[in-house]
Structure 1
């Protein structure tokens, strides 16, 4: 039976920016908290810190406040029963100097206000500036629960003096994300928007209306010269000549990924003579829409971490292109290695490996299914631990 007194939890993360991967993290955490709270006999009411609280509230049906308005953030935490920080790569300084101080500051504020704090499946690092390390250690030592999404993050925290026994290594929350099975409304299912402007809706998992296997591609800009994207385009063009396919670009973070996708499409040239087709997905409103897109692929070639996580969770064979250690870490957990990196990518290896996986998809699934299912179950551990903590304090 659900407790009469709800437990309010504030969620801090990279939310409201409409990055499909981070929005998927939020959706996965919200779903896990609701289900594990119900299993523990408590009602958990989330309040999300978002850059666009109106959009977040509308999309997920939860309360949200502006993450950059200190008074709103402080008030939300003050009136809560605890704070969750995560998941995603929040505590890193590779993309700038503001991320670590912001997310540590939110946790520290909650601790000053006497609230329990929980770190939810974060990817910690890289932390290249040593001045950040003692601050991370000081804040994390006061957290009531710490979980990270890979062993490398745990090792980094241990090097900062956090006892290893206080750190739980779990999969990324998105491994536990599901497609709605009964009448749960998200935005409308994405329609194929071909390069020629024609629509070709998919007819089933892994094939488009013409019966071609769908190869999902998730790219982003990384190197200034864009050589890795040009090489990927060459590999995709080679694949299309080896085997007729439908290459479906999946922008995870607009507008940048959309622009990167169109750059690769232009570099590929015309593949219609080989019987292949190319399209790009429209911007999605809800992460489950993109998850549905990935579930309809026969193969996923991805730079974005969460494109690879989506594929693994749906047991779609995948090829990862590494631009960051987090890609290598995740691929290692599912028993794979990158097909190349942004510094070294061989187009013919991409084409050959893609053709192999399109032919041996069932072999790949049999080899990886057990490990993927174990990761899905483990992805719920943080929500279970947090729900049990709240119940014990209630």
Structure 2
């Protein structure tokens, strides 16, 4: 059974990689013999995902051949149905879907994110193509409301959840996270090029090493290390915003206060290499030392690093989703309504508006959230149960629709799949 996944996977973004990896894993767990082909510009990277092959989305002959050979085409991705960056990607995505309909292929939206749709033509195009789909599953109520508002009425619209929530956090090795953090701390100490008891001060112009021995006799640092006490670790995922630098100063100032109280600050480049520069800038603004991960993290490494932090301060929605999956409380900086909606769905602390971002208020929010982190993590566990069920519902509805159209596909899959594969899939679903 062949399935083609049409989504805007043209940029190097771990959030999109996590989405397609989770969707492929869910579909293969329910139907082990399924073949999934993704239209992407980064064919080499996506082809490394288990059970996924990639085709260049800008090669019309390869795309058309894949559509003809497929039994089902599904539209996916949180960034596919929006026009904030122009109509180019939206038009390309909808053209692929409409071509599949013209050649008689069933098309399903798989846990689709919808919006923002700010332009008149963007809304018209989505309505035109949306009414010709067979089934639509969306990842939140806001996406369904947008589709209904622009006039999509014919196909059934079901609210499920983001595909990432179908992943099992236990599959990510904790030792990988421990090893990465050890490497990051070692690299930071080597970069400072200073003895263990030398203070490092930072200014906007650069770093200044102050050779002042630190008296740890009365600070309790040696005693804390002897007892094996772990410093609180705040993960920070930032995003460059044009024409605005005040939020960098506010975050750096709040981070300095935390470091002086014994915290560690980890600046993570979620989108590589775009986030490297802003992480470096915040590090320069800070007067206290911070940890940075300067290499390109793999998807597994990102999940493992999110598992190491105590809290995550994030400006990117996929990072907040991945950290929540790892049971970590999140503090969002609301640069768009999606971050507000996600934190509201998971019932986590309300996001800080970018316009109201203040160092003192941010510091208070971080410390209060840390005090309640156990209660928040317990509550996230309860919310994740429902989100995981809804996420699996996307895969179940997609395959149920396909089998209703082609009953022989289900029989063929049952016959060709060995007992071991069916048993393995059953255990995966049970977990």
TM-score over 0.5 for the alignment?
A: yes
**Residue 327 of structure 1: how far off its partner (Å):** 0.8
The answer to whether structure 1 residue 266 and structure 2 residue 284 are counterparts is yes
1:218 aligned partner: 237
Tell me the secondary structure at the aligned position of residue 261 of structure 1: helix
Deviates more, 1:378-387 or 1:230-239: 230-239
1:240 aligns to what?
Answer: 259
Map Cα deviations across residues 182-201 of structure 1 (whole Å, 9 max, x no partner).
Answer: 99xx99974542473549xx
Superposition deviation, residue 16 in structure 1 = 5.4
Residues 1:362 and 2:353 are matched in the alignment:
no
Secondary structure of 1:249's counterpart equals strand
Where does 1:329-348 land on structure 2 (aligned, <5 Å)?
A: 329-348=341-360
What is the match of residue 231 of structure 1?
A: 250
Calculate the aligned-residue CA RMSD, in Å. Answer: 2.4
The answer to whether the aligner puts 1:9 opposite 2:3 as a matched pair is: yes
Match of 2:21 among 20, 24, 27: 27
More helix by percentage: 2
Instruction: Provide the C-alpha distance between the structure 1 equivalents of 2:14 and 2:327, rounded to a whole number of angstroms.
Output: 19
Match of 2:429 in 1: none
- Looking at CA atoms only, which structure, 1 or 2, has the larger radius of gyration? 2
TM-superposition CA deviations, 1:262-304 (whole Å, max 9, x none): 1111111224xxxxx523253123x222111101111111111
Q: Quick one: distance in 1 between partners of 2:285 and 2:44?
A: 39
SS in 2 for 1:58: coil
SS of aligned partner of 2:9 = coil
1:133 and 1:173, CA in 2 relative to 1: closer, same or farther beyond 3 A?
same
1:144-159 residue pairs with structure 2 within 5 A?
144-159=134-149
Distance 1:103 1:260, change over 3 A: same
Unpaired runs of 5+ residues, structure 2, are 192-227, 410-431
**Inter-partner Cα distance in structure 2 for 1:304 and 1:312:** 13
Report the alpha carbon displacement of residue 220 of structure 1 after superposing the two structures with TM. Answer: 0.8
Task: Specify the alignment match of 1:274 in structure 2.
Answer: none
Alignment of 1:27-106 (within 5 A): 27-38=21-32, 43-106=33-96
2:293 to 261, 265, 280: 280
Q: Is the 8 A contact 2:269 2:275 kept in 1?
A: yes
Counterpart in the other structure of 2:428 = none
Aligned residues: 366
Contact residue 175 and residue 312 of structure 1 kept, 8 A: no
Residues 156-186 of structure 1 show CA distances to partners (whole Å, capped at 9, x for unaligned) of: 1001222398111122111222346499xx9
Partner of 1:141: 131
Q: Are 2:328 and 1:316 aligned?
A: yes
1:196 aligns with 2:215: no
| CA distance in structure 2 between the aligned counterparts of 1:68 and 1:257, rounded to whole angstroms | 26
Alpha carbons 2:30, 2:396 under 8 Å: kept:
yes
The SS at the match of 1:336 is coil
SS of 1:34 mapped into structure 2: helix
Superposition deviation, residue 330 in structure 1: 0.8
- Structure 1: gaps of 5 or more residues: 1-6, 200-208, 272-276
The worse-fitting range, judged by mean Cα deviation, of 243-252 and 74-83 is 243-252
Q: d(CA) in 2 for partners of 1:283 and 1:28?
A: 21
Alpha carbons of structure 1 residues 10 and 189: separation in structure 2 relative to 1, 3 Å: farther
